[in-house]
Amino acid sequence: MEIRQLRYFLDIAQTEHLTQSAQNLFVTQSTLSHGLRQLEQELNVTLFDRLGRGLKLSQAGAEFRVYATRALKEIEAGRMALADLSGLQSGKLTVGAFPTFLNTVVPATVAAFSQAHPGVMVEVRDLRAGSIEALLLRGELDLGIAFHPTEHEEIETEPLFDERMLLVVGPLHPLAGRRSLAMKALAGMPLALLPRSFATRRLIDASLRQADVAPTVRVEMDSVEALLGVCRFGDLASIVPERAARQAPDLHAIALTEPQMVRHAGILWRRGASRSAAARAFAALLLTTPLR
């Protein structure tokens, strides 16, 4: 029995769908199916009942889930204990970071940590908030950097900073000379925004509803950098994080008021899980490194 098989089993038990679990685990569906079959053959039981295209835990699967969860937690605790024994002289630290942090918050911290602890290999993964939480729960990340509140009660958050959301326009936009703007003035304005699958977009939509504004969304793009690029041409405006806006000095950033739109960043941990010495040291640096 392999650790990866237990992780496959537990993720499928949560999603009840091979396609979704394959995406969560970053493996092909055939690899996932093969791993599950191997586990069932080794245990000599059927862990899932096949219902059309979906899966549902069998009675045996529900019983085994308790022990599989406990086993992975014990293995993770052992890994943390061994990492601490190294005294930050060796090992690996895996961090999941929200995309907009990779060019602003993360680099200075990674550089400072690597200089202080050159024996520890650091892996930073570019992930959305939902994936960060899922991988933390599976023990595949040491910590995450994202926004809160989180979707899972099993995730706890250490506050990092608050960040305003700003309206960004190109130099030829009619609002290019403004320094602030009430949210109500966005009514009818052509916007380019992130898709609704992003937590930041959901924050934007909630703030617009609070201001009683129905947005005119002409374009949706999967990255803030792409949105900034679109604003350089034509009449489109976008709403982006303040730190991202600073990375585009050729564009004009406008403060939004009534209400002000703010998102809250934090360090994400799996509640109750052991924290390695490397993870604690990285978090301490993150909290003291000047934010850009």
Q: What digits encode the pLDDT tens for the residues 222-251?
A: 888 899 999 998 889 999 999 889 889 999
Domains delineated in the chain:
3-82 (1.10.10.10), 88-160+265-288 (3.40.190.10), 163-263 (3.40.190.290)
SS3 sequence, 46-111?
Answer: CCEEEECCEEEECHHHHHHHHHHHHHHHHHHHHHHHHHHHCCCCCCEEEEEECHHHCCCCHHHHHH
pLDDT at position 101 is 80
292 pLDDT above the threshold of 60: no
197 touches 273 (CB < 8 A): no
Residue 220 has pLDDT above 90, yes or no: yes
Q: Can you tell me the mean pLDDT for 129-157?
A: 86
Looking at residue 258, its pLDDT comes to: 87
84 pLDDT band, cuts 50/70/90, is low
Mean pLDDT in residue range 255-282: 89
Phi then psi for 223, rounded to 5 degrees? -140, 150
Residue bearing the bigger pLDDT, 104 or 272? 272
Q: State the average pLDDT over residues 196-221.
A: 92
Confidence grade of residue 34 (pLDDT, cut at 50, 70, 90): very high
Run of H or E including 277: helix 277-288
Q: 6-15, 74-83, 273-282: lowest mean pLDDT where?
A: 74-83
Determine whether 113 is exposed, middle or buried from the number of CB atoms within 10 Å of its CB (0-12, 13-18, 19+): buried
Backbone angles phi, psi at 19, to 5 degrees: -60, -45
Q: Mind listing the pLDDT tens digit for each residue in 17-33?
A: 888 888 888 889 899 99
pLDDT higher than threshold 80 for residue 110: yes
Which of the pair, 75 or 146, is modelled with greater confidence? 146
Query: Please, which residues have CB within 8 angstroms of residue 37's CB and are 6 or more apart in sequence?
Result: none
Element counts in the chain: helices (H) and strands (E)? 10, 12
Average pLDDT of the residues in 176-197: 94
| pLDDT-derived band at 281, boundaries 50, 70, 90 | very high
